[in-house]
């Protein structure tokens, strides 16, 4: 009876299993063929999209096609992850997911390919030209048109005879783009100044420069009898005392460019005898309050005004290299003056518009430029300045190959110093598809090759190492950065969420253009001083499905209480497709990195630089696709060393590894192992007390090795490497 009663149930189960086997499991073995076909379609669409962009295809078409490309790449990478899983049920689950996603994306691929093949419609933008992309020169260093009165006033203040009422500090202040640095250079080269002072020094108060390095740089300039090696061998206090002594006994002129905060001045102020001696200090800054902070009683401050109409016209003529004897015909001069009214007397805007006009020689071309900017003005949002309109025009004239690279810089905070290596690693990780051209390989790096046109034009500013003249870092002018953020939002490339403002969280989200959080590709979040305002991230977490976020930057303005890693853990669970995760400078975050970070299988770039971390999780072993790993974290006040699990050898694709300066392993008796890291090229902060020395012999691709050790350990390390015959193909043996 029992057998007879369950017979229909068994028959139904048999039928169901047969259906699942034929309809679900067997087709999964065809996924490999489907993925191969998807890869071919992926490459075809990428090539078509590159051609479409170069031909001036419409932005909505480009944006939609790029999103399809990103989805294709996610599917292909998910399939690659399947091969590394040991659990057969989990492998079948992922295969099923891949098969379903391929079926969904096929019609979108066909639609995107067809849209890219359609010739772009004509637009009201500027007419194309066969001539090369324009150059957008910065304000010429030897041209100070309209600043003659400013030069004379500052020179008089600097050369004033010492007295109880005379000023030892002269300040030039004004908004960005007015030419403060250009004016300071002109003053420094003035004949009366050259004859009135004996020693000169020029220093830039760039972000991240230490007090010691800044004082040493100035001391080398005003003390020709000291060599750079002698100065750098001194302690900080000795350098500052010597610098102060030189200024008291010798008539020196020191120029400090781009002073940004009271803290920057306070840390270097001890080196300057403000009301003693014959020396003088010339400072450029954007904030008059900061000038008054230096010397509120005897400060001579000079506000740099905007240029008048005729001065603007003269500057424009110099920039477009039009001789005064040749002049302009009436029509072109009228068009130029109308354009200059849009610049508002701002030299940066005038130099930008001059770069555009310098490659156009007819009245028709100049009128096209003016009309195009005029049309843009009618659609301005409240608060946008005329300078931004001119910079919009500058962006439209850029080579398409440079646009995504420039916009990407907008992800970094205002005033950030960005190194070339960091940019190179990020660009290669992102795999920019536009244009379809590989970045130079790392052996020939550098990002200088890509950013050189932008640097030469003054759009991107650089910080150079004076002895070698090599570029140390890049940064963006505030106006340029705002332009990058606006343009990137329009093209759906990236978004910036600034939580430092006083707006309500809902207004912050709305003003950032984050309408559909699930569709964001790249996001940079600037955290404020109030941890409660981090709840704005909750708006992103409300998405019903996993986010398409590929890049996430998190920065902190100043430390605050109440911020912890649990908030980050919820975000990690939503962002399954992350390829770049940069959490830098979070000095006050509490707790340990959550284990959910191990679910980010597709992660290629991970950085916790200068972020407070107690312990890193064992789940890091799952990040097998990571190529750049920066663990130079900040230790907590209660723990002098971060706890690091011995799982790094699982990351076989790792190329760049930056270890913490102070760390300990989960098991104190075990050392970190690296024997599987055959692709590792850069290893920093290697220490023999925590790392397995014999594994160095396995790192055959290593190009740069930084070891932390004492003098005794260095001798032992050298003998150890010699006895074990450890050699590297790419590192000199001497």
Strand order across the beta sheet in which 280-285 lies = 199-204, 252-259, 280-285, 169-173, 300-303
The better pLDDT of the pair 154, 261 is held by: 154
Name the pairing type of β-strands 663-665 and 704-707.
unpaired
Q: CA 555 to CA 469: how far, in whole Å?
A: 30
Terminal CA-to-CA distance of the chain, rounded, Å? Answer: 89
**Low-confidence winner among 116-125, 226-235, 242-251 (lowest mean pLDDT):** 116-125
DSSP-based three-state secondary structure for 284? strand
Q: 675 with 700: CB under 8 angstroms?
A: no
Per-residue three-class SS string for 583-639: EECCCCCECCCCHHHHHCCCCCEEECCCCECCECCHHHHHCCCCCEEECCCECCCCC
Q: Which element (helix H / strand E) includes 657?
A: strand 656-658
Phi first, then psi, for residue 60 (nearest 5°) are: -60, -35
pLDDT tens across 435-449, in order? 334 444 443 344 555
Calculate mean pLDDT across residues 321-346.
Answer: 71
Q: Is the dihedral of CA 554, 560, 566, 567 positive or negative?
A: negative
Q: CB 215: neighbour CB atoms within 10 A?
A: 27
569 and 541 Cβ atoms separated by less than 8 Å: no
> What is the per-residue pLDDT for 255?
92
* 81/628 Cα distance (integer angstroms): 18
How many CA atoms within 13 Å lie on the side-chain side of 62? 22
Distance CA 633, CA 646 (A): 17
Sign of CA dihedral 721, 723, 726, 731: positive
Model confidence at 234: pLDDT above 60: yes
435's tokens? 């244009």
Is residue 96 within 8 Å of residue 28, measured between CB atoms?
yes
What are φ and ψ of residue 691, in 5° steps?
-120, 145
Answer yes or no: is pLDDT of 677 > 50. Answer: yes
pLDDT at 665: 86
Q: Looking at residue 580, what is its pLDDT?
A: 92
The pLDDT, as a whole number, for residue 19 is 46
Parallel, antiparallel or unpaired: strands 460-465 and 470-476:
antiparallel
Tokens of residue 21, six digits: 């086997």
How far is C-alpha 730 from the geometric centre of its chain's CA atoms?
A: 29
pLDDT tens per residue across span 17-76: 554 444 455 455 677 888 888 888 888 888 887 777 766 666 677 777 877 887 888 888
What distance lies between CA 323 and its chain's CA centroid? 40
What is the spatial distance between Cα 509 and Cα 37, in angstroms, rounded to a whole number? 40
Closest alpha carbon to 94 in 75, 107, 69, 67: 75
**Sheet of strand 580-584: strand arrangement:** 495-498, 522-527, 551-556, 580-584, 605-607, 628-630, 656-658, 682-686, 704-707
Beta carbons within 8 Å of 626's beta carbon, 6+ residues apart: 603, 604, 605, 606, 651, 653, 654
Please report the beta strands in 31-157, taking only residues with DSSP state E, as ranges in sequence order: none
731 pLDDT exceeds 90? Answer: no
Secondary structure of residue 582 in the 3-state scheme: strand
Q: Which of 271-275, 375-379, 516-520, 533-537 has the highest mean pLDDT?
A: 271-275
Beta bridge partners of 18: none
Angle at 613 between CA 611 and CA 619, to 5 degrees: 115
Give the per-residue pLDDT at 659. Answer: 93
251: left (phi over 0), alpha (psi -120 to 50) or beta: beta
Higher pLDDT, 391 or 495: 495
> Residue 240 in contact with residue 215, Cβ under 8 Å?
yes
Specify the pLDDT at position 197.
Answer: 92
Domains belonging to the chain, first-starting first, are 14-117 (no CATH), 148-303 (3.40.50.300), 309-475 (no CATH), 494-670 (3.80.10)
Instruction: Evaluate if residue 660 carries a pLDDT over 80.
Output: yes
Least Cα distance to 644 among 625, 618, 675, 624 occurs for: 618
Which comes out higher in pLDDT, residue 21 or 112? 112
Confidence band, pLDDT 50/70/90 cuts, at residue 654: very high
For 407-431, write each residue's pLDDT tens digit: 888 888 877 888 888 888 888 888 7
- The reported pLDDT for the residue numbered 377 is 43
Q: Give the model's pLDDT for residue 337.
A: 82
Of 264-278, 342-356, 592-606, the range with the lowest mean pLDDT is 342-356
In angstroms, the CA 653 to CA 113 distance is 33
Mean pLDDT across 231-237: 86
List of residues 6+ apart from 290 with CB closer than 8 A: 173, 259, 260, 261, 262, 265
Position 391 scores a pLDDT of: 60
Q: H/E element holding 719? A: helix 711-723
- Give the ranges where 446-564 is alpha helix by DSSP (H): 447-456, 478-490, 505-511, 537-541
Between 537 and 284, residue with greater pLDDT = 284
**Paired tokens of 410:** 């907008």
Q: Name which residue leads in pLDDT, 73 or 196.
A: 196
Tokens standing for residue 517: 């959080």
Whether residue 236 is predicted with pLDDT greater than 80 in this model: the reply is yes
- Of 240-244, 586-590, 624-628, minimum mean pLDDT range: 586-590
C-alpha span between 406 and 487 (Å, rounded): 10
Lowest mean pLDDT among 241-250, 415-424, 537-546, 670-679: 537-546
Beta pairing class for 522-527 and 656-658: unpaired
Percent of the chain predicted with pLDDT > 70: 70
**pLDDT surpassing 70 at residue 342:** no
- Read off the pLDDT of residues 131-179 as tens digits, 9 standing for 90 and up: 333 333 334 444 578 888 889 999 998 888 766 566 788 998 876 777 8
In sequence order, the 6+-apart residues with CB closer than 8 A to the CB of 415 are: 207, 260, 475
- Contacts by 210-219, CB closer than 8 A, 24 or more apart: 211/236, 211/240, 211/267, 211/268, 212/236, 212/239, 214/268, 215/239, 215/240, 215/243, 215/268, 215/271, 217/466, 218/243, 218/254, 218/271, 219/243, 219/246
- Threshold 0.85, pTM exceeds: no
What are the beta bridge partners of residue 612? 634
Report yes or no: 625 and 603 within 8 Å, Cβ to Cβ. Answer: yes
pLDDT number for residue 721: 64
Counting Cα atoms < 13 Å in the Cβ hemisphere of 485 gives 24
For the chain, the helix, strand and coil percentages under 3-state DSSP, each to the nearest 5? 50, 15, 40
The torsion region of residue 300 among left (phi > 0), alpha (psi -120 to 50) and beta comes to beta
Range of weakest confidence among 45-49, 110-114, 208-212, 614-618: 208-212
Using a pLDDT cut of 90, give the percent of the chain over it. 7
Lowest mean pLDDT among 374-383, 411-420, 507-516, 703-712: 374-383
What pLDDT, on the 0 to 100 scale, is given for residue 116?
A: 79
pLDDT score recorded for residue 200: 92
Distance CA(236)–CA(228), nearest Å, equals: 14
Residue ranges of E strands in 208-337: 252-259, 280-285, 300-303
Interatomic CA distance for residues 642 and 586, integer angstroms: 15
Assess whether pLDDT exceeds 80 at residue 602: yes
d(Cα 432, Cα 579) in Å, to the nearest integer? 13
Q: Which pair of structure tokens corresponds to residue 654?
A: 């790792």
347-357 vs 330-343: helix crossing angle, rounded to 10: 140
Nearest to residue 635, comparing CAs of 667, 610, 617, 658? 610
Residue among 676, 553, 682 nearest 624 (CA): 676
Q: What is the CA radius of gyration of the chain?
A: 30
Distances from the Cα of 418 to the Cα of 410, 474, 480, 568, angstroms: 11, 5, 15, 24
């Amino acid at each position: 009876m029992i057998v007879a009663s369950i017979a229909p149930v068994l028959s139904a189960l048999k039928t169901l299993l047969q259906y699942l086997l034929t309809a679900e499991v067997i087709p999964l073995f065809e996924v490999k063929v489907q993925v191969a076909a998807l890869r071919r379609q992926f490459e075809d669409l990428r090539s078509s999209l590159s051609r479409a962009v170069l031909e001036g295809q419409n932005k909505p078409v480009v944006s939609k096609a790029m999103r399809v490309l990103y989805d294709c790449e996610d599917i292909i990478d998910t399939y690659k992850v399947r091969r590394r899983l040991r659990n057969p049920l989990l492998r079948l689950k992922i295969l099923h997911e891949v098969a379903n996603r391929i079926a969904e994306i096929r019609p979108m691929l066909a639609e995107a390919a067809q849209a890219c093949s359609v010739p772009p419609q004509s637009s009201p933008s500027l007419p194309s030209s066969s001539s090369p992309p324009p150059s957008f020169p910065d304000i010429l260093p030897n041209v100070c048109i309209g600043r003659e009165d400013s030069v004379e006033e500052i020179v008089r203040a600097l050369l004033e005879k010492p007295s109880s009422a005379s000023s030892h500090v002269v300040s030039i202040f004004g908004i960005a783009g007015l030419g403060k640095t250009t004016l300071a250079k002109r003053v420094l080269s003035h004949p009366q100044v050259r004859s009135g002072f004996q020693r000169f020094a020029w220093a830039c108060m760039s972000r991240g420069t230490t007090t010691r390095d800044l004082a040493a740089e100035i001391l080398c300039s005003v003390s020709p009898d000291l060599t750079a090696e002698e100065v750098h061998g001194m302690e900080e206090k000795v350098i500052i005392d010597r610098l102060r002594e030189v200024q008291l006994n010798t008539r020196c002129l020191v120029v400090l460019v781009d002073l940004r905060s009271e803290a920057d001045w306070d840390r270097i102020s001890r080196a300057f005898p403000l009301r003693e001696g014959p020396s003088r200090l010339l400072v450029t800054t954007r904030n008059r309050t900061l000038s008054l902070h230096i010397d509120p009683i005897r400060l001579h401050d000079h506000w740099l005004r905007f240029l008048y109409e005729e001065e603007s016209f003269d500057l424009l003529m110099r920039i477009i290299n039009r001789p005064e004897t040749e002049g302009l015909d009436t029509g072109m001069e009228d068009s130029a003056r109308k354009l200059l009214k849009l610049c508002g007397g701002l030299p940066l805007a005038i130099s930008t518009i001059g770069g555009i006009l310098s490659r156009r020689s007819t009245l028709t071309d100049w009128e096209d430029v003016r009309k195009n900017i005029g049309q843009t003005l009618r659609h301005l949002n409240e608060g946008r300045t005329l300078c931004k309109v001119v910079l919009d025009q500058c962006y439209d004239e850029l080579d398409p190959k440079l646009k995504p690279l420039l916009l990407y810089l907008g992800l970094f905070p205002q005033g950030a110093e960005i190194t070339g290596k960091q940019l190179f690693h990020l660009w290669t990780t992102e795999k920019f598809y536009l244009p379809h051209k590989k970045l130079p390989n790392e052996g020939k790096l550098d990002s200088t090759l890509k950013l050189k046109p932008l640097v030469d034009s003054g759009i991107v500013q650089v910080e150079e190492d004076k002895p070698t003249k090599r570029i140390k870092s890049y940064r963006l002018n505030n106006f340029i950065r705002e332009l990058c953020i606006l343009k990137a939002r329009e093209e759906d490339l990236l978004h910036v969420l600034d939580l430092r403002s006083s707006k309500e969280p809902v207004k912050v989200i709305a003003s950032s253009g984050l309408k559909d959080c699930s569709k964001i590709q790249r996001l940079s979040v600037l955290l404020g001083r109030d941890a409660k305002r981090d709840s704005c991230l909750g708006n992103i977490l409300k998405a019903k499905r996993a986010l398409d976020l590929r890049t996430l930057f998190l920065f902190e303005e100043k430390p605050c209480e109440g911020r912890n890693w649990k908030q980050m853990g919820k975000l990690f669970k939503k962002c399954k497709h992350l390829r770049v995760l940069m959490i830098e400078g979070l000095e006050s975050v509490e707790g340990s990195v959550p284990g959910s970070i191990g679910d980010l299988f597709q992660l290629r770039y991970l950085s916790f630089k200068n972020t407070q971390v107690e312990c890193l999780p064992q789940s890091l072993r799952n990040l097998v696709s990571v190529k750049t790993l920066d663990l130079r974290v900040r230790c907590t006040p209660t723990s002098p060393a971060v706890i690091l699990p011995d799982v790094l050898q699982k990351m076989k694709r790792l190329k760049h590894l930056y270890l913490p300066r102070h760390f300990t392993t989960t098991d104190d008796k075990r050392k970190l192992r690296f024997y599987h890291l055959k692709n590792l090229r850069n290893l920093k902060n290697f220490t023999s007390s925590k790392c397995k020395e014999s594994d160095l012999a396995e790192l055959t691709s290593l190009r740069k090795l930084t070891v932390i050790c004492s003098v005794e350990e260095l001798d032992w390390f050298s003998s150890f490497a010699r006895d074990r015959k450890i050699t590297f193909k790419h590192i000199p043996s001497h």
